[in-house]
Amino acid sequence: MNVLMTAASRRVALAQAFQAALRPCNGRLVVTDVDPSSPAVHVADRAYRVPYSSDPQYIAELLSICSAEHIRLVVPTIDDELESLAEARADFARVGATVACSPAETAALCNDKYETCTWLRSRGIDAAVSWLPSELPPDAPEVLFIKPRVGRGSVGAFLIRNRRELDFFAGYVSQPVIQEFLQGPEYTIDVLCDEGGQALSIVPRERVLIRSGVSDRGRTVNDACLMTLAARVVQAIPFRGPVNIQCRMRGHVPVVFEINPRFSGGIALTLAAGADFPSMLLALARGDALEPSIGHFRTDLWMTNYETSIFLPSSRLTLPLLPVRSRALPGAA
């Protein structure tokens, strides 16, 4: 049983977790990337160069790799590709591969931060009060938060402290959404759902220190309010596979400000805490029925990250970075 993980990039911990899950069945982890110097490329069992997900041939490239490598499970990792991969589920099924992603409608909803919060609030779920610039009322708080309506990695996200800053950043940020400023502790809740949308595992993590939008230091927490919030979100939106829900505390109430229907950047902590999402996804791809294991993880487990390196001779990085159909990247085992 072989797995294809897309946009491998720096996701070394996730790649190694899938390799560990595949070991008992002698399966291989195949990854894709646009850059042969990406570290996860040199950890995977095999790697392929593909075009960017916006390229018209992107899905065809992935399907070709799935056929050549006998892939049973496809794991998308970036927001940009989720809709197109969800729409192509039937095509992947025809070559024997299950795509671990939510429906296209869910991907579209979660990719739009304004619509995400509006949808949740309309269903009675605590979510950040959000406005488009034209909707901002005269009595809105002076301290606010602005970010791109569609974006990731905290790029273009800014704290607004007064009206002058609001006027500037409303013109500076592309397609902005303005949200209430939530200054309480921040949490990510990692969730894995089965094909019926049922939550199999829920693991809340406090994001103690954040660098470039990714948790650099954090800890797992077994908090009933966070677990209940995640369960309500899963009931309100149809998810499949991995999901991460981002929230901050407003007093003692967790408030959602963003949802990403994919693996989170800090998933390594959830995996280390004993929530084996890769093994669960493999079981689902085999057609196994899994019982939920909510709350089955090690609580108050801390993660503190550091940089490490892979050293490569230049001979392994010589091919041009161009879309090449079904050609393995250099250096992959």
Tell me what the pLDDT averaged over the chain comes to: 93
Where residue 321 falls among pLDDT bands split at 50, 70, 90? Answer: very low
What pLDDT score was predicted for residue 322?
34
Where residue 230 falls among pLDDT bands split at 50, 70, 90? Answer: very high
Q: Scan for tokens 């993590």, then name that residue.
A: 205
Strands 158-160 and 253-260, by their bridges, are unpaired
What pLDDT score was predicted for residue 315?
75
Threshold 0.85, pTM exceeds: yes
Give 239-250 pLDDT, tens digit per residue.
999 999 999 999
Q: What are residue 187's DSSP bridge partners? A: 206, 247
Give 276-296 pLDDT, tens digit per residue.
999 999 999 999 999 999 999
Q: Is the dihedral of CA 268, 125, 256, 77 positive or negative?
A: positive
In angstroms and rounded to an integer, the radius of gyration of the C-alpha atoms of the chain is: 20
Q: What is the dihedral of CA 195, 196, 198, 203, to 10 degrees?
A: 20
To the nearest 5 percent, what fractions of the chain are helix, strand and coil?
30, 25, 40
